Structure 1
Amino acid sequence: MGKAIGSSQLGKLYSGDKKVFKHREWRGIRDTWYDYTRWLGIMAMLGKFMLHPKNVKGFFRYRWMQNYLAVPMMIDKHSMGLRGTQLRICREEYDLVASDVAKLLTKIFSMDQNLGASPEASKHVVLMDENEMTNIMCGFPNLEGLSWETASCYVCVLLQGDAMTHYLDVVQECGMPGDVCPMPASEAGICIDGDMPIFGKCAVQCNTTCDGSLMGNGVISRALERNGIPVHQLATPLRHTEPGVQEYAAQEVRNAIKFIEEQTGEKFDWDYYFECAKRINIGARECSEWLEITKTDYPQVVGNNILLYRETEYMAIAGKVPAFATLDKKITKMATEAYKNKNMLAKEYRHRAVIWGVQSQFYTDFVAWLMNCWGILPMFDMLTMVSLDPISEDDKEQAIYDMAHQYENMIMRNRTHGGYEVLLDDLWRYCEEFCADMVILWEHIACKALDGMHGMFEQQAREHGIKLVWVNHDLYDPRVIPRKNLRQDVNRYMRSVLREEPLDPSLEDYDDTNLW
């Protein structure tokens, strides 16, 4: 192991019987010290989090809280092999996201009726779906839009791959088929198992991604209304690319705003909304800059450094937290300087890949493995390519349509709904635009929206001369298809079809069965 990129045998960090690496990755004195101090910062943040008595109660009350012990390890996995600027971008992003999630948990536990709080404590909270845009809350400075599913479900699976297996078993014991998407099934299982925090004045649910999500929302809305929390359904059009549905989409946003105003007594504040809109535009503009650099021979903000961060900022933050806009500008400055210096993220880029389809939530550091093991540059994924269109910063009527457009272009649903063009045609357009010669296509076996397109992907990949690698997974359930099997899907293709040897042979086959 050493300072130079690609000089480490990263596979030797793994141990089949441990939940963490054997030791920290050696990156040279400067980068190792930097990485270690940021690791200490995360440990300090976790220690500070546990100083709150309500957080301690929440930790022992909810089964899913044990997964947060893996926060330091999760960041270590996503920064594997990185040096210099890319390491610093990664740490800046993930530390900010971790801090924001810690604040979310602290807010939830301080208002949770299961932990002794009164309903009055959360009268300023509007509950939002896990996969729902939160930009509608940009007009309510005295209210907060929070998602208990994000804290109890989405983040937990990122931290520990098998975090939701218990809740999947619970919901299947109640009669739900095992082939339903594990994301809404897990959320429903948390409700059924009594592990849903109870707080909030009202809730706004959205037809986020699929029929499975609608099923899960039905279970959740029943639990909320049983606890005196009224629920509004925001029904976003599925054929969202058609001009004829845009007025309907805008009216759905107006209805949701009216519902929140009636339930909370607050009025939509256009000044605050436009303040947030400016930060939303900053995020979109800076992300566009990163993607422009990605089109060159020296990409800088790619892989894990754009995947999870961008979807968090787009969906959950939506301009409400100034720190993200500040970091966006800082990242652009760092990336531009690294581009000028022709910095590489691996010692060799053999293939430029677009990551498409619904990603495996229990193995998001898979894209780092692609680059470190095989030299496959993961430029961006499907969830990154949401709306980058600028929104109005002063026109109230246009702002309604802007909010509707962003609801229509939430992660996943902007590709799984909207017709053939947004899923297939856009993929090949991106391949041409970013000079990609390979597509890593996630095959989420429980996703009915994408499974029917398998043959079309195969046919059109051949027509466009694109190498297509299928990677099978079950989103939240690593028992069905373990992490090792995902790697084997790529290993077989690279050796059998392309006849290539790995950049780091130690990463081709290793045991991470018990790893967090």
Structure 2
Amino acid sequence: MGKAVGSSKLGELYSGDKKVFKHREWRGIRDTWYDYTRWLGIIAMLGKFMLHPKNVKGFFRYRWMLNYLAVPMMIDKHSMGLRGTQLRICREEYDLVASDVAKLLTKIFSMDRNLGASPEKSKHVVLMDENEMTNIMCGFPNLEGLSWETASCYVCVLLQGDAMTHYLDVVQECGMPGDVCPMPASEAGICIDGDMPVFGKCAVQCNTTCDGSLMGNGVISRALERNGIPVHQLATPLRHTEPGVQEYAAQEVRNAIAFIEEQTGEKFDWDYYFECAKRINIGARECTEWLEITKTDYPQVIGNNILLYRETEYMAIAGKVPAFAKLDKKITKMATEAYQKKTMLAKEYRHRAVIWGVQSQFYTDFVAWLLNCWGILPMFDMLTMVSLDPISEDDKEQAIYDMAHQYENMIMRNRTHGGYEVLLDDLWRYCEEFRADMVILWEHIACKALDGMHGMFEEQAREHGIKLVWVNHDLYDPRVIPRKNLRQDVNRYMRSVLREEPLDPSLEDYDDTNLW
């Protein structure tokens, strides 16, 4: 292991019988010290989190809280092989996201009726879906839009691959189908198992991605309403690219705003909304800059450094937290300087890849493995390519349509809905625009919207001269397809079809069965 990019045998860090690496990655004195101090910062943040008595109660009350012990390891996995600027971008992003999640958990536990809080404590909270835009809350400075699913489900799987297997078993024991998407099934399982924090004045649910989400929302809304929390359904149109549905989409946003006003007594504050809109536009502009650099021979903000961070900022933050806009500008400055120095993220780029489809939530560090093992440059993924269009900062009527547009372009939904153009045609357009010669195509076996186009992907990849690599997974359930199998899908293609040797042979086959 050494200072230079690509000088480490990263596979030697793994031990099949441990949940953590054998030891920390050596990156040279400067980068190792930097990485270690940031790691200590995460440990300190977790310690501070546990100083709150309600957080301690929440930790022992909810089964899913155990997964948060893996926060330091999760960040370590996603920073593997990184040096210099990319390491610092990664640490800045993930530390900010981790801090934001810690604040979310602290808020939830302070208001949770299961932990003894009164309903009065959360009268300023509007519950939002995990996979739902939160931009309508930009108009309510005295309210908070929070998601218990994000804390109990989404983040947990990022931390611990098998975090949701218990809840998947619970929901199937209740007779629900076992072949639907594990994400909404897990959320429903948490609810059925009594592990749903109870708080909030009202809730806004959205027809997010699929029929599985509608199933899960039905279970959750019943539980919420039984606890005296009224639920509003925001029904975003399916064919969201068609002009004829935009007025309907805008009216759905108006209806949701009216519901929140009626339930909470608060009025939509346009001044606050436009303040948040400015920060939303900052995020979109800076992300556009990162993608412009990615089109060159020296990309800087790629893989999970854009994927998980942008996803969080676009959906959950939506301009409400100034720290994200500030960091966006800092990242652009760092990335531009690294680009000017022609900084490489690996010792060799063999293929420029677009990562498409619904990612494996239990193995998001897979894209780092692609780069370190095979020299496959993971430029961006499907969930990154949400709306980057500027939104109005002063026109109230246009702002309603902007909010509707963002609801229509939520992650996953903007590709699984809207017709084949947004799923197929956009992919090949991106391949041409970013000079990609390869597509890593996630095949989430429970996602019918994407699986139904398998043959069309194959046919059109041949027409466009694109190397297409299928990677099978089951989103939240590593028991169905383990992490090792995902890597083998790529290994077989690289060796059998392309006849290539790995950049780091130690990463081709290793045992991470018990890893967090």
SS at match of 1:236: coil
SS at match of 2:379: strand
Q: Distance in 1 between matches of 2:247 and 2:61?
A: 45
SS at match of 1:126: strand
Equivalent residue pairs, number: 516
Task: Spell out, residue by residue over 1:82-130, the C-alpha distance to the aligned partner (whole angstroms, 9 max, x if none).
Answer: 0000000000000000000000000000000000000000000000000
SS at match of 1:383: helix
Match of 1:93 in 2: 93
Post-superposition offset of 1:442: 0.1
Task: Spell out, residue by residue over 1:325-375, the C-alpha distance to the aligned partner (whole angstroms, 9 max, x if none).
Answer: 000000000000000000000000000000000000000000000000000
Post-superposition offset of 1:173: 0.3
Post-superposition offset of 1:161: 0.2
Q: Distance in 2 between matches of 1:120 and 1:199?
A: 9
SS at match of 1:306: helix
Q: Distance in 2 between matches of 1:84 and 1:3?
A: 10
Match of 1:258 in 2: 258
Q: Distance in 1 between matches of 2:160 and 2:228?
A: 33
Post-superposition offset of 1:271: 0.1
Which 5+ residue runs of structure 1 have no aligned equivalent?
none
Task: Spell out, residue by residue over 1:114-160, the C-alpha distance to the aligned partner (whole angstroms, 9 max, x if none).
Answer: 00000000000000000000000000000000000000000000000
Which 5+ residue runs of structure 2 have no aligned equivalent?
none
Q: Distance in 2 between matches of 1:420 and 1:129?
A: 26
Post-superposition offset of 1:28: 0.1
Task: Spell out, residue by residue over 1:448-495, the C-alpha distance to the aligned partner (whole angstroms, 9 max, x if none).
Answer: 111110000000000000000000000000000000000000000000
Task: Spell out, residue by residue over 1:49-82, the C-alpha distance to the aligned partner (whole angstroms, 9 max, x if none).
Answer: 0000000000000000000000000000000000
Post-superposition offset of 1:233: 0.1
Q: Distance in 2 between matches of 1:40 and 1:370?
A: 28
SS at match of 1:472: strand
Q: Distance in 1 between matches of 2:88 and 2:232?
A: 42
Post-superposition offset of 1:191: 0.3
Q: Distance in 2 between matches of 1:421 and 1:173?
A: 38
SS at match of 2:5: coil
Match of 2:181 in 1: 181
Segment of structure 1 superposing worse, 194-203 or 172-181: 172-181
Q: Distance in 1 between matches of 2:273 and 2:328?
A: 20
Match of 1:61 in 2: 61
TM normalised by structure 1 equals: 1.00
Match of 2:45 in 1: 45
Greater than 3 Å deviation, 4+ residue runs: none
Post-superposition offset of 1:177: 1.6
Match of 1:464 in 2: 464
Match of 1:110 in 2: 110
Q: Distance in 2 between matches of 1:359 and 1:371?
A: 16
Post-superposition offset of 1:176: 1.0
SS at match of 2:384: coil
Match of 1:285 in 2: 285
Match of 2:334 in 1: 334
Q: Distance in 2 between matches of 1:234 and 1:177?
A: 25
Post-superposition offset of 1:304: 1.0
Q: Distance in 1 between matches of 2:389 and 2:307?
A: 18
Q: Distance in 1 between matches of 2:210 and 2:216?
A: 10
Post-superposition offset of 1:276: 0.0
Q: Distance in 1 between matches of 2:24 and 2:176?
A: 42
Q: Distance in 1 between matches of 2:216 and 2:450?
A: 19
Q: Distance in 1 between matches of 2:227 and 2:496?
A: 57
Q: Distance in 2 between matches of 1:244 and 1:179?
A: 34
Task: Spell out, residue by residue over 1:376-413, the C-alpha distance to the aligned partner (whole angstroms, 9 max, x if none).
Answer: 00000000000000000000000000000000000000
**Equivalence map 1:14-163=2 (5 Å):** 14-163=14-163
Q: Distance in 2 between matches of 1:416 and 1:339?
A: 34
Task: Spell out, residue by residue over 1:246-304, the C-alpha distance to the aligned partner (whole angstroms, 9 max, x if none).
Answer: 00000000000000000000000000000000000000000000000000000000011
Match of 2:358 in 1: 358
Task: Spell out, residue by residue over 1:415-471, the C-alpha distance to the aligned partner (whole angstroms, 9 max, x if none).
Answer: 000001000000000000000000000000000111110000000000000000000
Task: Spell out, residue by residue over 1:149-195, the C-alpha distance to the aligned partner (whole angstroms, 9 max, x if none).
Answer: 00000000000000000000000000012111000000000000000
**Equivalence map 1:263-412=2 (5 Å):** 263-412=263-412
Q: Does 1:8 align with 2:8?
A: yes
RMSD of Structure 2 on Structure 1 (CA): 0.2
Q: Distance in 2 between matches of 1:256 and 1:410?
A: 16
SS at match of 1:26: coil
Q: Distance in 2 between matches of 1:248 and 1:177?
A: 32
SS at match of 2:200: coil
Q: Distance in 1 between matches of 2:121 and 2:176?
A: 35
SS at match of 2:383: coil
Q: Distance in 1 between matches of 2:177 and 2:213?
A: 14
SS at match of 1:329: helix
Aligned residues with identical type, % of pairs: 97
